[in-house]
Amino acid sequence: MSFKIKLTLLCIVMSITQVTLAEMVQLDRSSTVTLSSLTQNIYSRHPALHNQLAQQQQIEANTDLANAIFSDVKSIKLNHQNDAIGSNDGLQEWEASVDMPLWLPGQKQQQRLLSDTMSAELPAYKDKIRLDASEKVRILVWNVVVANNANRRAHQVWQTAKKLEQDVAARVKAGELAGTQRLLASTNALEMHKQYLLTEAGLEYALNSYSHITGESSFPAVYEETLSTAFDSNQQHHSSVTIDPNHPRLRLLEQQINTLRAQQDLAYFDGAINPSVSVGLRSERGSYGEDFNNSIGVGISFVLDNDVYRRPAIANAGKVLADAEILRVQLERDLNIDLFSRLHDLETKQKQLEFVNDQNTTTKQYYALQKRAFELGEIDLVNLLHSQSLANETFNRKQALEVDIKQMIAMVNQALGLVL
């Protein structure tokens, strides 16, 4: 196939694929939509909230038990004995009694303490869910911002390529450039159009995910965050910053440990048999003709040497508590490592931006000189496109770093446990 035929076919393909510019995807910004309102939307639909009702029922059931008069259910015994089948002398005996288990010393108070610690766990549980919702909002919002930035840059690059294509076509028509230069400019414009369409698809996907999960079609007018006062880069190096003990994830685990401690103390009563008071009535007679003899009886029962039966429950509760305490140490370490990593990445990107700013200034000047040289016929289109690509790449990296730094600030706040 000759070069002329290839050129003709490519022009036909270009005429088919070149479409009119549709409206760019726009972010519908709203001042009524905030990061806080988005967090509330996700929080209110968070699956973990379903567990809150079960926790509340557990607390109420335990509180009712702690407020009970007796440590266990009361029982009634009824006995009757006569000699109708035997000697038939008229002997009859009726006996009824009520057994009432008593609380062991300290058991009732410990049961109430368990309810208190379980109640204190609920607010911490809610705060942890809110922190999870905040993380989801930050990810969704910045996915949209990053995709939007890439789309705007790709559109600008495409428009620049189209303008170059038009200039080259005019110069080819005037006989200043060879026809192959027009082919090269058109190919470059098609490639930039393809890149724009890809970024547009990415932006639409990010917006659809944002809308589906948050339930909002509008984007917050204000979405950037400031670095928490817990970290001041002018006074404190990031390596010395540590997680606050009130971090929602740490606070929840600390409350759960308090609950486990209360359960361990309550385990001292597991396996123990509570003393029981028995109150009963007895009615009996020896033979026919005798009157019934009625009496009241009171009894109490205790157990002896039941420590061996209580130890397994105590040991098991201690093992669960020890595992939770180990988990808390590991969690605090992991949170500090994550915070250090994010602060380090933020500092690295801030330093990179300083160099990229200088590089962007240089490449912009170089591209301006190359463009002027191309207009004067001193260089060909290949060299111009190379310098243009270099300038675009540097500017894109500069803008991407600026967005990344703002995004990293949001994720540092997330690592610090700040709820939106």
State pLDDT tens for residues 221-273: 899 898 876 555 444 555 667 888 889 999 999 999 999 999 888 888 877 77
In degrees, to the nearest 5, what angle opens at C-alpha 130 toward C-alphas 348 and 333?
Answer: 50
Return the pLDDT at 239: 60
CA atoms of 231 and 126, how far apart (whole Å): 26
pLDDT at 7 over 50: no
Rounded Cα gap, residues 356 and 362, in angstroms: 10
Contact 175, 159 (CB under 8 A): no
pLDDT value at 5 more than 60: no
- Joined together, the tokens standing for residue 164 give 């170059």
Q: By the 8 A CB rule, do 186 and 194 touch?
A: no
Regarding pTM above 0.85, the answer is no
Tracing tokens 């659809």 back to the chain, one arrives at 208
| Three-state SS at 283 | strand
Cα separation, 185 vs 161, whole angstroms: 7
Which domains does the chain show, CATH number per domain? Answer: 34-68+103-271+306-415 (1.20.1600.10)
The two tokens of residue 9 are 């076919």
Q: Greater confidence, 64 or 132?
A: 132
Distance CA 175, CA 149 (A): 39
Residue 352, CA distances (Å) to 159, 206, 233, 391, 411 in order: 28, 27, 16, 17, 18
**CA–CA gap between residue 180 and residue 4 (Å, rounded):** 10
